[in-house]
Amino acid sequence: MTLLDTVDGPARLRGMTADELTELAAEIRALLIDRVSRTGGHLGPNLGVVELTIALHTVFDSPRDRVLWDTGHQSYVHKVLTGRRAGFERLRKTGGMSGYPSRAESEHDLVENSHASTALSYADGLSRADAYAGRGDRAVVAVIGDGAMTGGMAWEAVNNIGGGPDRPLVIVLNDNERSYAPTQGGVADHLARLRAGEGPAVFEQLGLSYIGRVDGHDIAALQDALRRARDMRRPVLVHAVTEKGRGFVHTENNELDRGHAIKPIDPATGRPLAGSSGRSFTSVFGQRIADIAEHREDVVAITAAMLEPTGLVPMQERFPDRVIDVGIAEQHAVTLAAGLSMGGMHPVVAIYSTFVNRALDQLLMDVALHRRGVTFVLDRSGVTGDDGPSHNGVWDMSVLQVVPGLRIAAPRDAARLGELLEEAVAWEEGPTLVRFPKGAAGADVPAEAVFSGVDVLRRSGPLDVLVVSVGALAGLALDVADRVRAQGAGVTVVDPRWVSPVSPVLADLARRHRLVATVEDNSRVAGVGAAIAQSLHDAGVGTPLRSFGVPRRFLDHGSRADVLSLCGLTACDVSDAVIEALSRTDGRPAPGMDDELARLASGTINGKDQ
């Protein structure tokens, strides 16, 4: 039996000797390398916090003392030590263990979002709540990385923690010099000086006590520092210096991201186990924006600590001075873009869909209100799957359709991504947005015809059902069309490409069909389907509409296919619902058509006759 076999909770650690804790750290690393190599997940961040997590759980008494993990992708060791070792067999799988803290899994988890720079605010609130209740017998501990410390929200919290009342609050700054990639900016420079023993810590000047620098891989030193911080009974920052990816040659030697997030790999070689599934939307964007920058010297790209994940490495390599990494600071990124646009540049803000929610005010008031020519590129839009509820990008087309003047494009394939990106960057009358999902772009889906600017992907039989396909769900929409046609109904499948504002052509088409069905991997609430329904109502079109999308709930982690299935977004589910809805219509033939639509209905319009 190994030491790890005996650990069923944090209390077991407090009876171990120093040598046993060192051995336990080695066993945990071996477990992580073995399990995460099989399942995929955040390997590098967790290899870097093994000793730190052990020290935390020997000094503090979780869950009585509350331990918060900013971002949360470094919580695997915490999960091991709180009795969830068996869960790593199904890490990030449907019905399995989450890759982030999860309140449903354990009383040791309080905060389960995976957005950065929030833990200090939670900690401020929790510690103040204890103070209001007169409870001073427990501590709040927030573990935050140096990357997350580039976020403005973290400094808003530091400002209030340092200026607030004394209470037992410990901030553990896990400084590994990286977020996804090396940390950039003045915060990184300041921490480098502190690591070198130069100058006072800015944290002390803001009212916090400071303990550092501490070797984040020396359990005894960490325990000593954490005990000192705990016993001060006031806000203290412990500066622990760690190495991301420590203990695994393939993460230690990966200077790009130190194994931040991996797919299943061969642990002997570090190479992915599965073969390539083709070009990803991200790589297509990355190559195309670099090509655009070749002939558009005014194009500047902005990323929020996600250079490689958003595909900007090719542009950074070719035009290093025209790629700006602002750190985990989405709000600053967007208003920076507004300023660049005012100065004559055309900024392209590349960001994850779920993270753009953090900068809605800036997009609305700083960019759109001023009608600035800024292009937003949202990666990981729609259902992303295994990262869970905080990473699914299923709100952008609901939230952002309220922004006046914002044009939103949803490319269905790689070819359309390139075309729409070119169109977006060429538009200078206001902001534009191009959104696409995580993963392979798949085969291109050519249009059979173009009807007044709207791509017609399929036209078969009478004008019964108009299916409006949004973005990467074109394949699903075509499968639905085949199933509906097999039931004897006619189908037209169209892709508007630009989904907001809604093209008036859709009202013209809807008027001539018995039923409209919209298919999107965005929330049904205020999504594209809802916008089209409003457009039909405003145009006086009474054709019934059935919208298919993501229900109004947070989606658990799992494969993209599994999550879509749980949302009812399968060809079988959608086609059955369409046939049922069609049966409730009056069955009258479509009204008269103009000549062009008549030729479309008869199939005489094709890719060459437009």
Q: State the catalytic residues.
A: 244, 330, 358
The residue whose two tokens read 């400094």 is 155
SS3 262: strand
603 with 423: CB under 8 angstroms? no
- Quickly count: other Cβ atoms within 10 Å of residue 232's Cβ: 15
The verdict on whether residue 114 carries a ligand-binding annotation is yes
Residue 507 CA to its chain's centroid (Å): 33
Q: Where are the beta strands (DSSP E) in 309-406?
A: 323-325, 346-352, 375-379
- Quickly count: other Cβ atoms within 10 Å of residue 434's Cβ: 28
- Record the tokens describing residue 587, joined without a space: 């069955």
The string of DSSP letters for 17-80 reads -HHHHHHHHHHHHHHHHHHHHHH-B--HHHHTTHHHHHHHHHHS-TTTSEEEESSSTT-HHHHH
406 with 400: CB under 8 angstroms? yes
DSSP 493: E
Q: End-to-end alpha-carbon separation of the chain, Å?
A: 73
Cα gap 501→406, rounded to integer Å? 8
Nearest residue to 102 via CA among 352, 384, 394, 390: 390
The string of DSSP letters for 375-386 reads EEEEESBB---T
Strands of the sheet containing 465-469, edge to edge, are 449-451, 454-460, 491-495, 465-469, 515-523, 545-550
Q: Give bridge partners of residue 498 from the DSSP assignment.
A: 409
The verdict on whether residue 115 carries a ligand-binding annotation is yes
The verdict on whether residue 44 carries a ligand-binding annotation is no
The verdict on whether residue 330 carries a ligand-binding annotation is yes
The verdict on whether residue 295 carries a ligand-binding annotation is no
The verdict on whether residue 78 carries a ligand-binding annotation is no
Asked if omega into 504 is within 30° of 0 (cis), the reply is no
The verdict on whether residue 370 carries a ligand-binding annotation is no
Cα gap 378→376, rounded to integer Å? 6
Q: For every residue of 148-165, which 3-state class applies, written as one string?
A: HHHCHHHHHHHHHHHCCC
The verdict on whether residue 146 carries a ligand-binding annotation is yes
DSSP 87: G
Cα gap 355→391, rounded to integer Å? 8
Strands 346-352, 375-379: pairing kind: parallel
The verdict on whether residue 451 carries a ligand-binding annotation is no
Cα gap 119→151, rounded to integer Å? 11
The verdict on whether residue 99 carries a ligand-binding annotation is no
Could you list the residues known to form a binding site, using ranges: 73, 114-116, 146-148, 176, 248, 330
Binding site, annotated residues for Mg(2+)? 146, 176
Instruction: Give binding residues for thiamine diphosphate as ranges.
Output: 73, 114-116, 147-148, 176, 248, 330
